[in-house]
Chains A and B, each alone.
Chain A
Amino acid sequence: MEAMHELNDVVDGAYIPQDVSSFIRNEEDASSFFTRFSVVIITQMGSIDPTVQCISSACFRANVPVLLVRANGLVGFLRVQAREVCILDAKDDAAAPDLRLHSPFKELEEFASKFNFNEIQDTTVLSHIPFVVILVQAIAQYRKQHGGQLPSSRPQKEEFKEVVKSIRPSCCPDAAENFEEALKGSNLRLCYASAREVPSSTRAVFCDAKSNPITVSGLQPESCDSSQLGRKGAFPEAIRYVKLSKASSTTLAESESNLVQGGSTIAGAARIANDCRVFWLHVAAIRDFMERFGCLPLQGSLPDMAADTESYVSLQKLYSSKARDDARIVAQCVNEIADRHAVDAEDFDEESVRLFCKNASSLRVYRTKSIVEEIESRGKGGFKAAAEMDGALDASQNGTAAPYYALLRAADQFRLEHGREAGSVAEMREADDSLICEYLSAVKEDIGIPGTALLWRDQATEMVRYAGSELHNVCAFMGGIAAQEVTKILTRQFMPLDNTLIVNFAQQTSVTFAA
């Protein structure tokens, strides 16, 4: 805590210098203790450890994300567990710009029709007409000839390309940047019939049952025994860190009230539940908008393109004012739904609706299986497929990371039964090695990995060699990844790891899978 405070002096924290299993004895304990936090990070404990199972079950029920991170010799492990994280902006690089070329709005059509290419003689002026104008004109021409339809088949797309080319007057040079941009595949695609479809990654959120504008089940409180939340006094007192290493004892309640000062008064699971409700309320409203208008509300941003300042800025204003109009409609939907379901209006305002609309195509729901379910599901997760892809089912391959998922489980089993790490006592190493192999066979059978006893035999000995030792760089690497994923989860930006990462630091290889 002292070192953390040195790194960042606004860090305010408290600690309990005790083994967690000494005061978390069951799921009830875990529920009342951990649901006050926004995220829980568990280090150097195995997923089959009873305390880990208590904590992860309780947190899963209360929708508090958990990260389980460990280092053992040259192996690293990270598991993220979250029942639901509502991602506000997945920052998907591949997303196409939202220019509404497939169904131009009135103002855009009017703006584009003001340009008459054949009347302009000045080639500099010609080559500075934004490509958006060229494409809107081309679309209008094409539709006139095709009964209002957009190009969809290959010959139709070729024909459309010719229409775009025909707009360029002969005096305009071939290499004019704006025409090059108009003819770029990624921009032409914005005009095809397929551009109307919402991409599948985005659609998932709007198809989710929780976003149904009629029922909006995302607004219902989750089944979670609220009498358990914030039960106090049953736990050791947390020591609050005070600068100059003068540690003073305060109750968790006191340090909590300090933590939330100035901001919202709800924290932990309650705060997360509220954030989710706000998310689903907005998603339902946007879905309502989509059902009425056939497209997402306009984002309102314009990528850079060859253009003169005046037409670019006018176009930019056009898009942003249309986006404001769309957001206003969505805001109405939000209000209607909120009224219908008696949601407090404090949770949203025009600004938040505008932001949701701007990021509409980047909204995502992140969900994982619970750790308990993973252990009980007997290989129904993504491990087997990932191990196969990784080449780990081939006994001659020993550079892959996947086998260590099974071996960490075997090593956990060993620790649970023997109270020490396999390989930690020199005289016992050979016996430990045979035992680990037995545990490994059981784990392999449990998770449905076929193959002989020889499969991952050498990795088992390697695991015994590690004996739970901690190498600084392995810990630093895993700590860095965990910090990155926690940041994603708390800021609800970018996509978190789904959901298990194993790193083999002997070969610097890794594998990820949805356990």
Chain B
Amino acid sequence: MQSTSSPGQPPPDVPGWSPGGSLWGGLGHLLRHSSPLSQQLSPEAAADTESFLRTQCKLLIIGAGGLGCELLKNAALSGFRDIHVIDLDTIDLTNLNRQFLFRTKDVGEPKATVAADFVNNRIPGANVTPYHANIMDFDKDFYRQFHLVIAGLDSIDARRWLNAMLYSLVERDDEGNPVQETIIPLIDGGTEGFQGQARIIIPSLSSCFECTLSLFPPAKNFPLCTIANTPRLPEHCIEYANAVLWDKMKPFGNSKLDTDKPEHTNWLFEQAKERADHFGIKGVTYRLTQGVAKNIIPAVASSNAIVAAACANEAVKMITSIANNMDNYMMYNGRYGVYTYTYRNEKRPDCPVCGAPALVKVTAKGESTLAEFLETIAGHPELRSRKPFLRTSTGKTLYAAAPAHLRKATEGNLDKKLEDLISSNMELTLSDKDLPFIRTVYVSFI
């Protein structure tokens, strides 16, 4: 690149501006030139956009892990400055191969803080604010302050919660139409092995995360009877140590299993190994133990780089209008060659978040216990409620997983038969601490 002949002034505080090379270069150039395929862009508008990006635009990035590190780096190098990042985790040694904002000395420190410090030190102008916290610790007022949210989360539950939170911020005018200024777009990225997806969610206008929940099938759990009675795979032995032995043997007193603690994982490994040897099952290793206990699908660094770059590119396009946004969902698969597919994901009319949800019909045996019924609800593909608050339509609470005093008051019901608590063909109201919406469940006995 040799010319700096583009009209309009370069950002005053960034040295070395040229169309190709510098931080602002490529973007600054595209902002100042149009084509029949782009919007009409003018040098004045370009300067406004750059000034907005530099002084006003507030970006929230959720997650500072595999995708989060990439997203932070991409956003800061694309010119975003006021960036906020939330992550609950601390840095583990096994993160270092792909979460490149962390070094060996950072192990044990909060991801959000270390990532923010790294980017602030490395990229001139970047101003990243970290929150070492859970996304659910923040209220509507917190989320309302951002122009745009990008999520790089691996937890389906967290993505559902975030999606519903941003949807709940949308206000409606007298005619029931969404008020533009209250809509905060969400760019959501996810990867699994060699696959991933990047999508744009415009709350109330486009399909939302909940609309497509069925694309993310619940994690396959091994049935307890297999684990306990007929183990065949090394995974079955590890899951036995995890699900049964830990609570029974309490190897570290009353402390809960923390898979980030090597001594905990090692205990699981030793128990699983012993059980596997007893049954003649081969293949229990420390690595596999860690994988099973943490429910990890091996992360592929390149998939994170690819999906995060696609997300950040959409963010840049959204804020700068150098090109239109994709519409609205990109699937990526790098397992066999390289394959991407971009299509418009349509809203689901009966989406529990953005549509008019239908009753969820569940069948159960009258003589089964409430505890068994709750397991059905936890495994139900559309509900996946693990901390349920279940009431009858007359307001009687059958069970509340939280808060603690309500749980104490209702846990006596767990062993009662369903037919002694409710009658068949009855509507129940289900809410969940982790899922910000209410569903009506229609129970019939079989």
Interface residues of A (CB under 8 A from B): 7, 73-74, 78, 90-93, 128, 304-305, 307-309, 312-313, 398, 420-421, 423-427, 429, 458-459, 461-462, 464-474, 476-477, 479-481, 483-485, 487, 494-498, 501, 503, 505-510, 512
Q: Which chain B residues (1-47) contact chain A, with CB distance < 8 Å? A: 1-3, 5-7, 19-21, 25-27, 29-30, 33-38
The answer to whether A471 touches B7 (Cβ under 8 A) is: no
**CA A90 – CA B27 in complex, angstroms?**
39
Residues of A within 8 Å of B36, CB to CB, are 458, 461-462
In the assembled complex, which residues on chain B have CB atoms less than 8 Å from the CB atom of A509?
A: 326, 340, 342
Asked whether any CB of chain A lies closer than 8 Å to the CB of B313, the reply is yes
Interface residues of B in 293-309 (CB under 8 A from A): 300-306, 308-309
Q: Tell which of B194, B231, B330 touches A508, judged by Cβ atoms closer than 8 Å.
A: B330
**Sampled A-B contacts (9; CB under 8 Å):** A74-B30, A305-B232, A421-B1, A425-B3, A467-B33, A469-B29, A477-B306, A480-B309, A505-B313
Known interface pairs A307-B230, A480-B309; A420-B37 also in contact (CB < 8 Å)? no
CB of B170 within 8 Å of the partner chain: no
Q: In the docked arrangement, what's the CA distance between A497 and B337, Å?
A: 4
From A433, which residue of chain B is reached at the shortest CB distance? B35
B338 and A465 within 8 A (CB): no
How many A-B pairs with Cβ below 8 Å?
Answer: 180
Q: A469-B25, A473-B78 are in contact. Are A304 and B233 (CB under 8 A)?
A: yes
Asked if A91 and B26 make an inter-chain contact with CB atoms under 8 angstroms apart, the answer reads no
Given A398-B37, A424-B2, A473-B316, verify A479-B305 contact (CB < 8 Å): yes
Q: How far is the CA of A464 from the CA of B26 in the complex (A)?
A: 13
Pair B1/A424 contact, Cβ less than 8 Å: yes
- State in angstroms the CA–CA spacing of A494 and B6 once bound together: 45
- In the complex the two chains form, is B302's CB within 8 Å of A494's CB? no
Contacts of A471 in B (CB 8 A): 26-27, 30, 78, 313, 316
Report which of A426, A472, A503 forms a contact with B7, defined as CB distance below 8 A: A426
Q: Provided the pairs A427-B5, A506-B324 are in contact, do residues A484 and B300 lie with their beta carbons within 8 angstroms?
A: yes
Task: Tell me whether A424 and B313 are in contact (CB under 8 A).
Answer: no
Question: For residue B122, which residue of chain A has the nearest CB?
Answer: A3
In contact, B35 and A472 (Cβ under 8 angstroms): no
**Least CB separation from B324: chain A residue:** A506
What's the nearest-Cβ distance from chain A to residue B26, in Å? 4
Given contacts A424-B2, A485-B338, 8 further A-B contacts (CB under 8 A): A426-B5, A461-B35, A461-B36, A477-B309, A477-B313, A505-B313, A505-B323, A507-B342
Are B78 and A472 in contact, CB atoms less than 8 angstroms apart?
yes
Residue B279 interfacial (CB < 8 Å): yes
A7 CB contact (under 8 Å) in B78, B100, B281, B322: B100
How many Å lie between the Cα of A421 and that of B305 in the bound state? 28
Task: Check if B70 is an interface residue, CB within 8 A of chain A.
Answer: yes
Q: How far is the CA of A479 from the CA of B304 in the complex (A)?
A: 12
- Chain B residues near A421: list those with CB within 8 A: 1, 20
A7-B100, A476-B70 known; A494+B335 contact, CB < 8 A: yes
In the complex the two chains form, is A424's CB within 8 Å of B19's CB? yes
What chain B residues lie within 8 Å of A507 (beta carbons)? 323-324, 326, 342
Q: Is the CB of B33 within 8 A of A473?
A: no
- The CA-CA distance from A312 to B30 in the complex, in Å, is 63
Could you tell me if B38 and A510 are in contact, using CB atoms closer than 8 angstroms?
A: no
Q: Are B335 and A309 in contact (CB under 8 A)?
A: no
In order of increasing CB-CB distance, the 8 nearest A-B pairs are A480-B305, A484-B302, A477-B309, A508-B326, A469-B26, A506-B323, A476-B309, A473-B313
Q: Give bound CA distance, A497 to B30, whole Å.
A: 30
Which one of B37, B78, B198 has the greatest number of beta carbons of chain A within 10 Å? B37
> Which residue of chain B has the shortest Cβ distance to A90 in the bound complex?
B336
Interface membership of chain B positions 222-248, coded 1 if the CB is closer than 8 angstroms to chain A and 0 otherwise: 000000011111000000000000000
Assembly CA distance A473 to B233 (angstroms): 42
Q: Are B334 and A469 in contact (CB under 8 A)?
A: no
Residue of A nearest to B27 (CB): A471
Q: A309-B232, A309-B281, A466-B30 are in contact. Are A476 and B340 (CB under 8 A)?
A: no
